[in-house]
């Protein structure tokens, strides 16, 4: 079983990254093969609405998304992790999400995306504590997943964590991330 982790923070070894590492460690503890993509290290152009994807399901832009599309399609489970930036995802991660329009075109326009439904989970961390802190990002990730037949199956939303690596002082949340990784594996047939 392949679990793909998508790390959306520009800060390496910080809150988002450490939570995702724990989730992937949890998945690996049950025998999953895990892979982590660090979005900030990739060259991903934002969607330009050329709509070449409507013709054959492929984006006309040549960049690191070329390697990401097959990984999104091949994974049995996906864990996306992001810091909250202005009540949304990081811009780096949002670019990847928007470029998945090519998969949306394969699934809903060309109808040639194999639709064995897979499972996905979302981890998000923000500094403040507002009730609606995660609402926008959850919707974005739900519809990102839906574009390529991944069911939004689990989430871990962490409030009140701001400084670099501050999550290390929150062992309960780190262990919740580990458990999320295990749960996700358990949900995949
Ligand atoms: C550009 C920017 C925008 C942010 N916007 C929000 C926000 O809207 N709400 C919030 O609670 N925290 C916000 N934060 C704080 C981050 O979500 C917080 O520091 C988080 O722990 C960063 O995680 P990381 O260290 O994994 O990148 C923002 C931080 C930055 C740099």
pLDDT in tens, 31-48: 999 999 999 999 999 999
Q: What is the 3-state secondary structure (H, E, C) of the chain?
A: CEEEEEECCCCCCCHHHHHHHHHHHHHHHCCCEEEEEEHHHCCCCCCCCCCCHHHHCCCCCCCCHHHHHHHHHHCCEEEEEEECECCECCHHHHHHHHHCHHHHHHHHHCCCCCCCCEEEEEEEECCCCCCCCCHHHHHHHHHHHHHCCEEEEEEEEECCCCCCCHHHHCHHHHHHHHHHHHHHHHHCC
Q: Which residue ranges make up each domain of the chain?
A: 2-187
What confidence score (pLDDT) does residue 114 get? 81
For residue 28 and ligand 1, the question of a CB distance below 6 A is answered with no
The superfamily (CATH) of domain 2-187 is: Flavodoxin domain (3.40.50.360)
> Per residue in 67-109, pLDDT tens?
999 999 999 999 999 999 999 999 999 999 999 999 999 999 9
The stretch 115-120 carries a mean pLDDT of: 90
pTM over 0.95: yes
Ligand 1 centroid distance, CA of 96 (Å) = 19
Which pLDDT value is given to residue 148?
A: 96
Ligand 1 site-directed mutation target among 9, 21, 127, most atoms within 8 Å of CB: 127
pLDDT at 115 over 90: no
Confidence of residue 116 (pLDDT cuts 50, 70, 90): confident
């Amino acid at each position: 079983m392949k679990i793909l982790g998508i790390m959306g923070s520009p800060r390496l070894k910080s809150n988002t990254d450490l939570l995702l590492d724990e989730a992937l460690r949890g998945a690996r503890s049950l025998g999953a093969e895990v892979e982590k993509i660090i979005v900030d290290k990739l060259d991903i152009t934002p969607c330009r609405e050329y709509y070449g994807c409507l013709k054959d399901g492929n984006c006309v832009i040549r960049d690191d998304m070329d390697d990401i599309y097959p990984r999104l399609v091949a994974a049995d489970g996906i864990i996306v992790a992001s810091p909250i930036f202005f009540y949304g995802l990081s811009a780096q991660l949002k670019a990847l999400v928007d470029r998945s329009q090519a998969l949306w075109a394969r699934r809903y326009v060309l109808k040639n995306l194999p639709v064995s439904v897979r499972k996905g989970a979302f981890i998000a961390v923000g500094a403040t504590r507002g009730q609606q802190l995660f609402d926008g990002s959850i919707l974005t990730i739900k519809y990102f997943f839906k574009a390529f037949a991944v069911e939004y199956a689990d989430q871990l939303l962490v409030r009140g964590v701001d400084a670099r690596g501050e999550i290390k002082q929150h062992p309960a949340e780190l262990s919740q991330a580990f458990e999320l990784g295990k749960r996700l594996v358990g949900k995949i047939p």
